[in-house]
Amino acid sequence: MTLSSLRQQFLSGETTPAALLRQLAGDIAARDGTTGAYLSHDLETALAEAEKADLSLPLGGIPIGIKDNINVLGQPCTCGSRFLSENYTSPYDATVIRKLRAAGAIPFGRLNQDEFAMGSSTENSALQTTRNPVAPDRIPGGSSGGSAAAVADGTAIATLGSDTGGSIRQPASHCGVVGLKPSYGRVSRYGLVAFASSLDQIGPLTRSVEDAARILQAIAGHDPLDTTSLDEPVPDYVSGLEEGVAGLKLGVPKEYFGEGIDPGVRAKVEAAIQKLAAKGAEIVEISLPNTSHAVATYYIIAPAEASSNLSRFDGIRYGRRAANPSDILDLYKKSREQGFGPEVKRRIILGTYVLSSGYYDAYYGRAQKVRALIRRDFEDAFRHVDAIVSPVAPAPARRLGTCADDPLQEYLSDIFTLSANLAGIPGISVPCGVTDFDGGTNLPVGLQILGPHLGEATLLRVARAAEA
């Protein structure tokens, strides 16, 4: 059900927030043992909030699942890591949680993810495996794999995820749901456990474009607690959804349709673009010439920021602490060695290297220059088109375990999503069909729509036309 239809049922008395929560808890008990989207859920606390729900509010009484790197007062926030899984309870609400509560929503459930959001499959979680509800032998995508899988499995009405290089859009594509990454600065990051601070954004995963617009409406806006939050007016994202695409120019980047894209994905995305053309959009071929440098640039900048952000996990202030260290240096070493998984260690080591004396200019400094070129590519493109349409991922969801010994293949799966984070622009994944891949049938494919910075209203308008 959509948020609007649930609200109507609440207002008519057909059901209540408490009844819905009990039904969701039953669904989680019945199905999540296979899917593994939830790390935990606190039904009693949610029921207490449901009894006080103000149904007149935009999201009154609606339960929203939360990725486990977003802080909710009194709840665990494990980030999918052993480092925080034993004894950390959040002492505060993230700004997005405070805003959801102000809109009447009820945070319900902690959703699995790649450890500290570092991954594209949710296989890097230290706590459990999450499977794709559409095909349980496949990954749900990542790092917000639990958030996408719960919506696809019907065990959540809507969820929040975070997107650093595609971590909302790619799992949304693989699971056949809608996933929206807002512009950098549109949604506060306060209370999101930082991975790469210049790239991270929080956004919704939903069953419909309208639901994504409604949740964005609730969580967007300036926050003085986040110095990167923009003090800009928030438009009405819902009112313009049905305006259609007639008269809009949609850019198709030639670099996103070259070698490496699965033929089935290409066919579905091209068919979706033609349907938008039939609705009156003008399709324009464009070039984003620095696309080929995006993966290398991202995997210098993101690990560099991660190595700095994760230095706070030292075994002293909070989280896992190694037993019986010989001295304080041994405490640091053993706590981090025992607490972090292999992918997190890999990125910390890489980030520390590119920031080290003698290598900073050669790697990190140069990557920042290339990032500026990637941003300029988009700025030039949006002088000629209203939005950009492309695949979300080169292929549908792969089988579990197929990239376990080859992290580079996992990194390349985000080749079409990374650039939006580097440029700070918004992007959305909308289901556009199913295809066969690697022995699997009817696997979801997502259409990615990118807009100019703070162009979410146009982005959602195009997404709604594609959905329709």
Domain count, the chain: 1
Q: Checking DSSP bridges between strand 178-181 and strand 440-450, what pairing results, if any? A: unpaired
| Extended strands (E) in 254-386 | 282-286
pLDDT at 1: 86
Average pLDDT for residues 98-109, to the nearest whole number? 98
- As given in the structure block, the two tokens for residue 187 are 């949604």
Give the separation between CA 38 and CA 140, rounded to whole angstroms. Answer: 13
Taking only the tens place, the pLDDT of each residue in 395-454 is 999 999 998 778 888 898 999 999 999 999 999 999 999 999 999 999 999 999 999 999
pLDDT at 259: 87
* Confidence tier at 87 by pLDDT (50, 70, 90): confident
Burial (0-12, 13-18, 19+ Cβ within 10 Å), 407: middle
pLDDT at 54: 97
Average pLDDT for residues 116-128, to the nearest whole number? 97
Residue 24: C-alpha distances to residues 37, 108, 177 (Å): 13, 10, 18
Taking only the tens place, the pLDDT of each residue in 304-358 is 999 999 999 999 988 999 999 999 999 999 999 999 999 999 999 999 999 998 9
Q: Which of 216, 136, 42 is nearest to 401 (CA)?
A: 136
Taking only the tens place, the pLDDT of each residue in 270-294 is 999 999 999 999 999 999 999 999 9
Q: Under a CB-based contact definition with an 8 Å cutoff, are residues 156 and 63 in contact?
A: yes
Q: Which of 309, 290, 293, 306 is nearest to 343 (CA)?
A: 306
pTM above 0.85, yes or no: yes
- As given in the structure block, the two tokens for residue 429 are 């994944």
Q: Which of 256, 259, 260 is nearest to 273 (CA)?
A: 256
Taking only the tens place, the pLDDT of each residue in 220-268 is 999 999 999 999 999 999 999 999 999 999 999 999 998 899 999 999 9
Q: Under a CB-based contact definition with an 8 Å cutoff, are residues 203 and 179 in contact?
A: yes
Label residue 60 left, alpha or beta by phi (over 0 means left) and psi (-120 to 50 means alpha). beta
Q: What CATH number is given to the structural domain containing 86?
A: 3.90.1300.10
For 458, residues 6+ apart whose C-beta sits below 8 A from its C-beta are 248, 386, 387, 451, 452
Place of tokens 């990032």: 371
Whole-number percent of the chain with pLDDT over 70: 100
Taking only the tens place, the pLDDT of each residue in 184-223 is 999 999 999 999 999 999 999 999 999 999 999 999 999 9
Rg (CA), the chain: 21
- For 116, the domain range is 1-468
Which residues are catalytically annotated?
67, 143, 167
What's the mean pLDDT when you consider all of the chain?
97
